[in-house]
Amino acid sequence: MTELIGISPQLLFAQVLVGLINGAFYAVLSLGLAVIFGLLNIINFSHGAMYMVGAFCSWLGMQYLGINYWAALILAPVVVGVIGLLIERTLLRRIQHEDHLYSLLLTFGLALMLEGIFVELFGVSGQRYPVPDLLNGGINLGFMFLPIYRAWVVAAAVVVCFTVWYLIERTKLGAYLRAGTENQALVQAFGINVPMMRNLTYGFGVGLAAFAGVLAAPIYSVAPHMGSSIIIVVFAVVVIGGMGSVLGAIITGLGLGVIEGLTRVFYAEISNTVIFIVMAIVLLLRPAGLFGRQS
């Protein structure tokens, strides 16, 4: 293949891949945020911190307990999920009838505390996490070199996203969740234990963030601030996709990752801000987001 408007295809594909990887993280993280926002009406500012704790869980597990990557992929979300259950049960539930701002501040405060604790314990610099043996190396596709681990991240994220989408849109459990998003009191008046459902949803949402953290560990270094740097972009993704829309979160996450990657090729100067530019445009044209229900 020759040059395309003065840009080498190698560079183009490489950036699309980087975009897809970032997009995979955006998708999984914004999916968890969307699910939590949908049912609990909480803008979970500690989502980035949970992603970071998930990454640290896998690193600590490997370092001190000899737990390998594959086990961490299951265990870290479970551990963080349980932390989420406790946070919801002991803190968030107390302020569920208060204004949005309270839960926003509370989760923001939690994020700062978690980051502070990890900085105190491990310093600000990152810890390296090796790529698991099975996923080492890469494939030469002819037009580009594809590292296997990166392909795995995109595939794993896509599978998880669509599994969650299926659960929510196509099952009875998901119907409770969707109905609860609209009218919790009525769902509870039908005999469903809504407080427990909120609790499990929060745990599940932050568990998803931890899953993304484990996926991220071998790519980015495991560092206390890894969450706060990605979460701002993820919030923009959620706003663009439409608050609380599951499909919106997934598609927007992946799409914006790719847009970001392409921007790096064609106009690198704005690659760090392009998502916010898109956000501004979307908010002007469709205030409820691309997939949100316009009221």
Partner 1 sequence: MQSQPKAPLSESDKSYEQLRISDLHAYYGESHVLHGIDLQVRRGEMVTLLGRNGAGRTTTIRSIMGLVDRRSGSIVVNGTETVHMSPHRIARLGIGYCPEERGIFASLSAEENLNLPPTLRSGGMSLEEIYELFPNLKDRRKSQGSKLSGGEQQMLAIARILRTGANFLLLDEITEGLAPVIVEALGRVVRLLKERGYTVVMAEQSFAFAGPLADRHYVIEHGQVVECVEAHELDSKRDLLESYLSV
Instruction: Please give the residue ranges that form the binding site for partner 1 (CB under 8 A).
Output: 172, 175-176, 178-179, 181-183, 185-195, 293
* Residue 130 burial class via C-beta count within 10 angstroms: exposed 0-12, middle 13-18, buried 19 and up: exposed
Q: Provide the minimum distance between the beta carbon of 38 and partner 1 in the complex, in angstroms, as a whole number.
A: 10
Is the Cβ of residue 61 or residue 242 nearer to partner 1 in the bound state? 242
Q: Provide the minimum distance between the beta carbon of 193 and partner 1 in the complex, in angstroms, as a whole number.
A: 5
Is the Cβ of residue 178 or residue 225 nearer to partner 1 in the bound state? 178
Phi, psi (deg, nearest 5) at residue 140: -90, 115
Q: Provide the minimum distance between the beta carbon of 204 and partner 1 in the complex, in angstroms, as a whole number.
A: 19
Is the Cβ of residue 136 or residue 171 nearer to partner 1 in the bound state? 171
Q: Provide the minimum distance between the beta carbon of 185 and partner 1 in the complex, in angstroms, as a whole number.
A: 5
Q: Provide the minimum distance between the beta carbon of 248 and partner 1 in the complex, in angstroms, as a whole number.
A: 13
> CA 62 from chain center: how many Å?
23
Please give the helix or strand (H or E) that residue 90 lies within, else none. Answer: helix 69-90
Is the Cβ of residue 106 or residue 194 nearer to partner 1 in the bound state? 194
Phi, psi (deg, nearest 5) at residue 197: -65, -40
Is the Cβ of residue 135 or residue 179 nearer to partner 1 in the bound state? 179
Task: Please calculate the CA angle 49-52-56 and round it to the nearest 5 degrees.
Answer: 135
For the chain, what is the radius of gyration of the CA atoms? 19
The total of other beta-carbon atoms located within 10 Å of residue 190's CB is 9
Cβ atoms 41, 102 nearer than 8 A = no
